[in-house]
Homo-oligomer: A and B are copies of this chain.
């Protein structure tokens, strides 16, 4: 082992001391926050930033720059302090922590230029790191990615999904650092200070795993430098630390998680820390070598083919191939169902741009967020029901305004025989409730293709819901679609009702329309292919044209889907909205029979429309009886 010069050790120790001081000062000023979780990792962070990383403080999101992910997001004060140390933040601003008008939020968000993806829901950072590292590799950058994890958060399974992916992909450019302070929020962690247990686990997942004293610069510096040089495997540094290190009276004690020091105690502790300073100036920041990385520039996508009868999931695969041809930033990920989601078409066309994420949806989504932070446009797909596995990762991606695209296939009871565990009936509820999300639900091949193109162009999180079974063509190749749009497919001057549907139920609604015509019940039919943002004005216009009466039909549970979207759009105008949706736990069975059994097939729509039309006539008759015309008595 090469010795580390005393000057460097002292300089790094001084940085760590200042990081502790700023963390204490900021949290005391805020009256909340996590000084002890910051203090345990201060030495590790100081050495990582100033003795190992090559980064460009002026352009922290450059693919050439090393990245740092604070997976233990509650140590935000430490992160802010180190970026102040780098000159990116003003030191004086650190005490605005957690304020209403400060970007220094309680947990890091990408409002800050050096935060790639929001953290604060534990166990997600390593997957983000996997995405950043995969992205760097794809770009030919030799930048490295450092992820600081808490020990408690390694209890999250998502950490092991990330670990296995990094091991499988041999991401030598990824470095994990586990801050083993032995204390969780409410008590000791499961493994306490058993560094060997962590080491065995990471080693079993294909990592080089190194144990060390997380407060000894002479151990940290060579370890983190060697980790940066790894050529074959990802490296994890498993560091024994003390929670609250450097904070007298609090070091290693339970009951101090997420608690700021009272002002007087803070002053005393800061004075003691200041007394420890060697007053050695910080080492220079190592900037990355200037290298030209490939410019990935999109071209316009050629016009779509004429789609015939096709499952929207299959059209998704074809459309993604077309988008991929035009835009080299587009990548695809899939959770070992690529032959069902048709992501395999993309894999076959661009094997280098396809990532098999295996059956680990949480990691798939956070990896996608990491790739998006390297300026890629990742499309991640699985059965729609299994995307719920990553609900928390999707939530964090939405908070991060991450530019990721999701496709969920096999929506609803119309998948048939596989049964309820495979039927996505709550995916629209999940994706609608993500802030700023776009939710698309095409009903034919052309619409599915358009949705893929719309999702690709939209900046932010977009979801596409596809259907298992084939559906006939509804639109010509030149039909135009838009985020926030809808299509009125059937309309007449005497429509008594607007039927709103999407995906599989749109075809049921169209069949019902034809049957209702025969019964002299003219109805309007709307394809709500964009569920969010919803075309409120157009829905209201349709409602007004049909006596303020609507019927929504969807292959989804009652809550959170199309029905709620429509009601949200029209409820300020007192529109009467009836709703056909799946109202019980469904059963296995043939798709067509299930549509009728759960009351969302053409038969159920006809029955509902007839009943509504009759009650309408009845109401009119009743009303007529109640207000007789003058002279009729």
Contacts and interface: CB of A to CB of B under 8 A. Distances in A.
Nearest to A343: B186
Nearest to A581: B568
A105 interface: yes
Output the residue of A99, A102, A205, A419 with the most chain B CB within 10 A.
A419
Nearest to A558: B568
Given A337-B186, A386-B121, A576 B574 contact: yes
Given A119-B421, A155-B359, A338-B186, A589 B389 contact: no
Contacts of A204: 197, 200-201, 203-204
A180 interface: no
A560 B200 CA distance: 43
A557 interface: yes
Interface residues of A, number: 111
Instruction: Count copies of this chain in the complex.
Output: 2
Contacts of A98: 417-419, 588-589
B399 A388 contact: no
Given A392-B386, A433-B430, A155 B574 contact: no
B99 A589 contact: yes
A412 interface: no
A311 interface: no
A80 to B, nearest CB: 12
Nearest to A396: B421
A159 B432 CA distance: 29
A344 B186 contact: yes
A574 B572 contact: no
A334 B187 CA distance: 12
Contacts of A187: 336, 338, 356
Given A155-B360, A187-B356, 11 more contacts: A31-B417, A118-B420, A120-B419, A120-B421, A156-B157, A186-B334, A187-B336, A388-B391, A559-B568, A564-B567, A573-B576
Interface stretch (A46-54, A136-144, A160-168, A319-327): A160-168
Interface in A554-588: 557-560, 563-565, 567-568, 571-579, 584-585, 587-588
Output the residue of A184, A417, A575 with the most chain B CB within 10 A.
A417
Contacts of A197: 204
Given A105-B419, A359-B152, A559 B120 contact: no
Nearest to A184: B336
B185 A168 contact: no
A320 to B, nearest CB: 16
Interface in A36-83: 73
A602 interface: no
Given A184-B358, A430-B429, A568 B563 contact: yes
Contacts of A211: none
A107 B422 CA distance: 8
A422 B186 contact: no
B572 A100 contact: no
A221 to B, nearest CB: 28
Output the residue of A122, A359, A560, A573 with the most chain B CB within 10 A.
A359
A331 B41 CA distance: 36
B560 A122 contact: no
Interface string A99-119: 110100111010000000011
Given A336-B185, A560-B429, A358 B419 contact: no
Interface in A154-191: 155-161, 164, 168, 184-187, 189-190
Contacts of A574: 548, 574-576
27 contacts: A30-B417, A31-B417, A33-B417, A106-B422, A107-B418, A121-B421, A155-B336, A157-B157, A157-B360, A168-B190, A186-B334, A187-B336, A200-B203, A204-B204, A388-B391, A395-B426, A398-B585, A399-B420, A432-B559, A433-B557, A433-B559, A532-B559, A559-B568, A571-B578, A572-B578, A574-B575, A574-B576
